[in-house]
Every structure is written in C-alpha cells, then in structure tokens.
Amino acid sequence: MTEIEITPKPADLADLAASPVVAVYFVHGMSCGNCAAHVTEELSAIEGVTGVQVDLEAKKVTVGSSRELTEDEVREAVDEAGYELVV
C-alpha cells in the first residue's frame, strides 16, 4: 500500500478495527495523495464516520463508522470529491 501524508489524518488499522462498522468501497479515478486527501475529507464529513483509510494501489477505501452508511451517502461524498464509487 502506498503511504501518503494527508489531513484529516487517515485511520490506522487498529482504529478501524475498533469501529462498530467497517466497510470497504472501491473508488475509480484515485491516483495520488491529493486524490486520497479529497476522498478522505469528504467521507470523514459523513455523520458517524470514525476513520478512513485509502489504498491507492488497490483503488479502495476502508471506512470505519458508528453506524451503517447508506450507499447514497458514500456515493455522494465520493462524487463530491470528484471520483466514482464502484459497486
């Protein structure tokens, strides 16, 4: 996995594992640290999200949250960041 420095700080695996709900999403179009930062920022703004970790090589995002997120919530955040949620 490519390591990048972004704000808000991405969650580490222990933080995500401690979240009541953890989901993995695939996002089309991410290729750099700025991409990861935009996706992380938008997903982190969803109510209940406790952590976000982006894997640029796999084009996936792992999201920890205190509740189940709807596909529409996630899609809207990813779209707002300028990318496409793959389902």
Q: How far apart are CA 42 and CA 76, in angstroms?
A: 9
Q: Which residue has the tokens 């109510």?
A: 47
Taking residue 25's Cβ as centre, other Cβ atoms within 10 Å add up to: 20
Domain boundaries, the chain: 13-86
Task: Average pLDDT across each block of 10 residues of the chain; the chain has 87 residues. List them in order.
Answer: 46 76 96 95 96 94 96 98 96
Which residues are CB-contacts of 3 (< 8 A; sequence separation ≥ 6)?
none
pTM over 0.95: no
The whole-number pLDDT of residue 5 equals 43
Q: Give domain 13-86's CATH number out of 3.40.366.10, 3.30.70.1070, 3.30.70.100, 1.10.357.10.
A: 3.30.70.100
pLDDT at 12: 66
